[in-house]
Structures are given as structure tokens and as C-alpha cells.
Chain A
Amino acid sequence: MQSVVVLFVMSLLVFVGVYAIGNPIDILINPQADQIDRERAIAALGLDKPLWEQYLVFLKGALTGDLGRSFVHATPALGLILTRMPATMELAIAAMLIAVVLGIPLGLWAGLKPNGVAGRTIMAGSILGFSLPTFWVGLMLIMVFSVMLGWLPSNGRGPTMLLFGLVPVSFLSWEGLSHLVLPATNLALFKLALLIRLTRAGTRESLLQDYVKFARAKGLSNARVIGVHVLRNIMIPIVTVIGLEFGSVIAFAIVTESVFAWPGMGKLLIDSINLLDRPVIVAYLLVIVTLFIVINLVVDVLYSALDPRVRLAEAKG
């Protein structure tokens, strides 16, 4: 319900905003066209109607699942975004995997040995990862790994295959995977730094907790203390953050997608903003909000699976 209100407000905002910025026909139409052609094109896209009427038309369509057609591509805006979605999701998931697979062990290490050389180096690295602007790192990666070393392709998405006969993905072939490495690394960097810091902080805090001290006192092996007690305890906030940050990865993919010419929906959004392709902007928002609702739901479920206290509280409440 809440999200419906959000959607409503956002779509209204975008409608008014884009309307105020300019008329897409001014950019879209061929300059050779005269005034009469121009007026005809404006009418063809329904832009001659007053704003409230355009909005009502949109609302009516939206209720039946029709978010309008892209001004530029002539295809339904929703379909357009859905065709771009697998590319973005693939990139985001790959980035998240990299961040988790590297971030948690590194953070754990830094947390266990906060004053060692390795621990300090990891932390210094994470501050760097936090501070480096994504777009700048992207180009540096291209410079080094594609242009200078020639190891990896500089941009674009490799050949795709259908996963489950439905979703086109590129990670099933070597070539596809090679296209994925650089952008995914680029996108992962910020989240990697974040995860390192979170894991470190969590580890440090949990090492001070009584149950860890107790487990130690019981004479449990170090590996077991860390593996079972510490890790399990810090997993809860980390899973939450991973879930929440997944949304932000999808959004941040906008930058990575522009640098690496990755044909995802973030790039589509930037293009659409530049062309004032309103139906696509609105549809993108709608898709993203829905996506976030789903992610939050999944996080909640995982959360209660991991933390018995939440389950108990829910059972009681």
C-alpha cells in the first residue's frame, strides 16, 4: 500500500518534471521538419494534451499494466526495460558475489587482527575502495587490463545464452564471462570496501561478547569459535546489508554501465533522461520500486531464518 503511494507520488513528480524541462519532440524530430510536421508529431505522441490529461491517460493504462510506449523506440516501455533487465541483474549479482566472496574473509581477518600489518593494509585498502569514484576506477581498469595488458575485453556484453530457456545470460561461456569480469569488479569495489568494514566491525564487537569469551573458556578450537559463533553472529547484519545494498548495486550499475557500454537498464535510464523519454523513465521507476519491495521481502525472510530471536518475537507478536 505504502509503495503504491510512493509510486503514485514519484510518477506524478516525473510527469510534472519532465514536462517542465522540455518537449521531447524538440530533440527527437528531424530539424528539417517544418512547424506542421512538428505539431503532427507532438499530437501523435499525445503531448498536445494538457498535462493532467496526459497523466490520467497514463494512470488508466498503468492500472491495466500498460505503462505507455517509449517515444523513441516505439515499443512498450515496460517490455523495453524487461529486455534490458537480465543484463543489469547479471552484472549486479556478479558484483555482489565478488564483494561477498572477498569482503567477508578479508573483513574477518582485519577484525581478528586489527593491529597486524595485514589488518591495517586491508583497512587502508577499504578506505581507498570507499573513496575512489566508480567511474574513474572503471576507466583505469579498462586502461590496464584491456588496453595495456590486453587480457580482457574493454566493454560490452559477450554472447548470451538462454538460462532455463528464458533469461539471456552471458556467464555461461568463456567469452561472456570475460566481458563480465571488469564491469563486475568495478561495480563490486565500493560494496567490497563496505563489507570489509562491516565484517571487521562486527567481528570486533562479537569478540568482546560474553558468549564468545565463554566458548573460548570452554576450550573450543579457535576455528570453531570463529566459524560458528562469531561468523554466525555477524551474518545477521551482513545479510541485511547485502540485501539492502543489492538494490543500490542495481542503481549504481548506471555508472558502470555507461563506462563499460553494458546494455543494461541503467544505461537505458540515462539515455531516456537525456531524450526526455518519459514513459521509459516512469516505467524504470516502477520496476525498480517493485524490485526493491521483493528484495526487502527476501531479506526479511532470510533474517528470520538466521536469527532465532526474530522468529520468536514474530511468533509471540
Chain B
Amino acid sequence: MRPVPVPRRLAAAIAIAASVALGVALTAPASAQELKIAVAADVTSIDPHFFNLFPNNNIAEHIFDKLVQMDADSRMIPGVATSWKTLDDRTWEFKLRRGVKFHDGSELTAEDVAFSINRVPTVPNSPGPFSAYTKAIVGIDIVDPYTIRFRTAAPHPLMPNDMSTIYIVSKKVATGAPTEDFNSGKAAVGSGRYKFVRYVNGDRVEIVRNDAYWGEKPPFARVTFRIIKNEPARMAALLSGDVDAIEQPPTADLARLKSDPKFTLTSKISHRVIYFNFDHLDRSSPFVTGKDGKPLEKNPLTDVRVRRAISKAINRPAIAERVMEGQAIPSGQLVSEKLFGHNPALKAEAYDPEGAKKLLAEAGYPNGFNLTIHGPAGRYVNDEKIVQAVAQMLARVGITAKVETAPMGPYSGRASKQEFSFHMVGWGASTGEASSPLRSLLATFNRDKGLGAVNWGRYSNTRVDYLIEQALQQVNDENRMIMLQRATELAMADLGIMPIHFQFTMWATKKNVAYTPRTDEYTLAFQFRPVRQ
């Protein structure tokens, strides 16, 4: 047989492939005016009131304004409102900035603010409404185009915090507009630093600088947010130069990023605390058994000595160092240092396995017991690894621990029905102060008061409840601060929940771009700036 004419065709194919590769190598680099950022989570909508979801809000921060803004340390600063004050216990007045223009050229006035607040609870099919931040308001008075008053049924000191979450849309454009119109861009008209260009579902969001912005103008004229959820793919996008910056570089790659002169790693302590819930219910806890595998009649976790022993058994610095690659700081409370309500007296529990064993013996469990630890998969930074490390550490003081993890959906469904004994969660104090975790995580569960909504362990302490409820109505900042600190102290003495650490939020950039990191984890294009080399 003679050879078949395969080789020639193959050669042709290779030649084509090679020319493709060459052609690619010659494409021009992005201009300095342009910034490409890879974000880690899917943007589901451009409608800023549809879904209170981190990635959606991250985009909205660029396109829309708020009455109150948060600075990089989660402190409130003037936004569209230049000042705010209480007229009496139940009335707040906000003064608006003059000359704030929407992207279509029309002026932003109190009418638009009132419209936006009224729109929040009415967005159809919202899976996660913003109404928690508007429902204190029982009446809105527009005094003049630049003055607006909010009336509340009870004293409501957190009004400015609430207003730092509500994006202002244009009444003219957004009246009657469904969420789709925002996604297509038709109704995505805000007054923010950037104008909306394009949203490709699951792929990217493109925005351009708003040159008519009232405040400082951002350095980059065109910005593309690429959505790359897969960690190594996101990292590879940075390494190969496809993007200028990424959020949440995988902890696995930190060492490399730190040592590579082509990149900069920026990180900042986040408002998010990673903690464990105990089963506080007086019952035979579902995932605690004796060493013989038989269920225990009494729930050992209701004994504060057992909780303390567990807390002492955990080597928090080791978790921060090894599991988190140094990107976490051990914690003994709910909010980190710069946030309102932080209690400087509360330190992270020291690692003390001997003390833990002693406490367990005192509580009547000298040989420990069996425990299954539950954790979410892929929700928080290294969540599955933290849970496993905790299990290792408990095993060393005699508590034989197994680990089960599940995606957040089924996980939180079960956790909220008290189906677990000991499980991990995270909480971001998005209002930038301690009442947020206190009222949701530690106040006694009460559906009608809206307290303890995420108190999945069902911790309950009337003194803590009293302090929280007082603080929520205390308009005086100093008094409120003391109440929040005291409530935290009491709850921590009980180990109502067991904090592990505050995680750091990280950004990795090319050397020629710098980022001013933020406590609230947002990746904001206007906080990037070019760096001359």
C-alpha cells in the first residue's frame, strides 16, 4: 500500500493552527484608559432594587447614587445627601446636594428619592428585597426639591445606615419599568460615577465614566467587569494579562502573588465574621452522640463549660496562618476593630487544649463525645477547609468529630430548621456596625419583632435581648455604642455563638494598577488608579 495523503492535510491543519496562535500573539494590549476587572460572583440583574445580592450591589455602586455613602472603612459619608439630622425622635431630615444630574441630564431631586424608597417593596418577583431597610419609614415628606423627611413609628437611629443601602433611580425613567428594562439598559439610568453600557448575562458588565459626576471623577474611562467564578480561571486571567485586577485571588496562590514582582496583592480586614453556632435547645441534639455511638439524652452543648472547652480547643492562629494563608485575624467578637460597636476588651479565645480537656471533665465528659460538624461548601473563603481543621482540633481534646458539608442552599435550609448540632456560618455586618449581627444572630428568635432571624442555634438571653432592643432605639451614638458593646460582651461570655476569625478581603492587581481596599468587600472601579512605574 502507498501512504495515504494524510500528512499533507495534517500539515495544513497545523499551519492554520499556528497562524491562529501567531495572529493572537500580535493583538494590541489594552489602553491605559481601560480597566478590566474579574469578579468572582454572578451579577444577576442591573435593577438595583430587585435583588439584594452582593455582586448586583457591587455594580449598582457604580451606576447609582445613594443618600449616604460608606467610605473604605465602612464609615458613613455624605452621598447625594449633604447632611442629615433628627428633627425629633421619630423624624429624620436629609438635605440633598444641588445639581446632581442623572445620566440622561435630568436633575436628581427629592421626588426621585421618594420614588426609589417607594419602589423598593414593590419590585415584582424579588427573591431578596431591600425592604428591610425601608420598612421603618411610615411616611415621606418632600419639603422642597432638596429636603426630604422620613417619619418612623418608633425611634430609629439606624436611618442613615439604612439609607446607605438604597440606590436612587430616576423617577422619570424607572416609573413602571420592569427589571428587564434595567438589564437591557433602558432604565439603568443613575447618577453615579459610571454610566451603564452593556450587561451580558453570565459574562460581563461594561460601564463608562460619567464625566458630569458631582464628585471626584474616577481615573479609568472604560471599565469591564468580567464574571469568572472559577478560582484558578480567575487567577489565570490575571497571570496571562487578560484582566488588570481580580477580586478574591485564591488563597492557594497568595505566596506566588506576593513574590511575583509583576503583581500587587492588596488586602483588608472584612466586616465578615466566620463563626460557629451551637445547638442551644434542650433536647437530644441530632448530631451529638456518646463515644459508644448512642444518642445522648442531654445536649452537652447547652453547658457553657462544654462550649468554652470547644472554643479553647480551637487553634485560631493556626487556622488563620495555615488554612487562610494569613488572610484572616482571629476573633472573639462580632465586628472588627474599625466598626461601630467593636468592644476592645474582647480578645480571641487562646488555644488551650489542656484547659479544654479539664472543662470537659468538669462538665461530666472526661472522654469527650462524638459530634458531626456541618459547614457550607463554597460560600465563604475556604469554608470547607476551616470546618475540617476545626474537626481535627476537636479530635485532639477527645471530641471525635466528623464533617459534612453541603452547598449553601440545602445547608441553610437545614440549619434554619435547627437540624444541626454545631455548624459554621459567616456574617457580614453590612450596616457597618454591631447591631446588625446582634439583632440577627444573638437576639432571641422572634418572628413578629423581626429579631433573631438567623439565630439558628436558638441562643436566648433576656439581658442580651433587652440591651439590643434598647440600642436599636437609642438615638444617642455614645449610649448606643456602650449598649452594643455590653450586649456583645454578655453574649460572648455565654458563647452564644463562637467566633473564629474575621476574614480578609483580597484583591490582586497588575503592578501598574493600585486598589484602595474596602472593609465592605466591594470591588469598586473608582477605587482603582493607575500607578506609574
Contact = CB atoms under 8 A, between A and B. Distances in A.
Interface stretch (B107-115, B224-232, B344-352): B224-232
A67 B431 CA distance: 38
A142 B127 CA distance: 37
Nearest to A27: B409
Interface in A88-114: 101-102, 105-106, 108-109, 112-113
B242 interface: yes
A108 to B, nearest CB: 6
B25 interface: yes
Contacts of B331: none
A112 B3 CA distance: 9
Interface stretch (B200-208, B311-319, B392-400, B486-494): B200-208
Contact of A263 (B131, B201, B412, B451): B201
A154 B125 contact: no
Interface in A194-230: 222-223, 226
Nearest to B24: A178
B428 to A, nearest CB: 8
B430 to A, nearest CB: 7
Contact of A74 (B2, B179, B451): B179
B453 A73 contact: no
A259 B230 contact: yes
A156 B228 contact: yes
A72 B127 contact: yes
A40 interface: yes
A147 interface: yes
A28 B21 contact: no
A261 interface: yes
A151 B21 contact: yes
B126 to A, nearest CB: 6
Contact of A37 (B24, B42, B129, B228): B129
A245 to B, nearest CB: 20
Interface string B15-42: 0010011011101000000000000001
Contacts of B410: 21-22
Given A26-B409, A74-B179, A34 B453 contact: yes
B148 interface: no
A155 B51 contact: no
B176 interface: no
A263 B200 contact: yes
Given A146-B240, A276-B409, A37 B132 contact: yes
A124 interface: no
Contacts of B127: 24-25, 28-29, 41, 44-45, 71-72
B233 A260 contact: yes
Interface string A55-79: 0000000000000010111110000
Contacts of A267: 202
Interface residues of B, number: 74
B527 to A, nearest CB: 23
Which residue among B6, B124, B128, B130 has the maximum number of chain A CB atoms within 10 Å of its CB? B128
A74 B409 contact: no
Contacts of B233: 142, 154-155, 259-261
Contacts of B447: 34-36
B37 to A, nearest CB: 13
B475 interface: no
Contact of B202 (A27, A34, A263): A263
A153 interface: yes
A305 B256 CA distance: 58
Contacts of A223: 2, 4-5
A102 B178 CA distance: 49
B242 A153 contact: yes
A175 B230 CA distance: 22
A72 B453 contact: no
A268 interface: yes
Contact of B413 (A26, A105, A150, A156): A26
B74 to A, nearest CB: 15
A222 B227 contact: no
A43 to B, nearest CB: 11
B271 to A, nearest CB: 12
A248 interface: no
B205 to A, nearest CB: 12
A80 interface: yes
B237 interface: yes
Nearest to A156: B226
B10 interface: yes
A271 B447 CA distance: 31
A83 B199 CA distance: 12
B138 interface: no
Given A108-B4, A154-B237, A271-B202, A261 B132 contact: no
Contacts of A113: 1
B84 interface: no
Contacts of A146: 236, 239-240, 242
A22 B9 contact: no
A32 B233 CA distance: 31
A279 B129 CA distance: 20
A30 B52 contact: yes
Contacts of B226: 156, 261
A267 B409 CA distance: 18
A210 B448 CA distance: 86
B242 A74 contact: no
Interface string A1-33: 000000000000000000001111111111111
B83 interface: no
A85 B23 CA distance: 27
Contact of B237 (A83, A156, A181, A222): A156
Nearest to A38: B453
A185 to B, nearest CB: 9
Contacts of A181: 17, 20-21, 24
B180 interface: yes
Contacts of B229: 258, 261, 271
B346 to A, nearest CB: 22
A84 B201 contact: yes
A260 B23 CA distance: 21
Contacts of B42: 271
Interface in B190-214: 200-204
B57 to A, nearest CB: 10
B414 to A, nearest CB: 8
Contact of A27 (B20, B412, B427): B412
Contacts of B45: 73-74
6 contacts: A31-B440, A33-B52, A105-B9, A150-B240, A155-B237, A274-B408
8 A-B pairs closest in CB distance? A34-B450, A263-B203, A178-B24, A22-B413, A28-B127, A74-B179, A146-B240, A30-B52
Interface of B: 1-2, 4-6, 9-10, 13, 17, 20-21, 23-25, 27, 42, 44-45, 47, 50-53, 124-132, 178-180, 183, 200-204, 226-230, 232-234, 236-237, 239-242, 407-410, 412-414, 416, 427, 430-431, 436, 440, 447-448, 450-451, 453-454
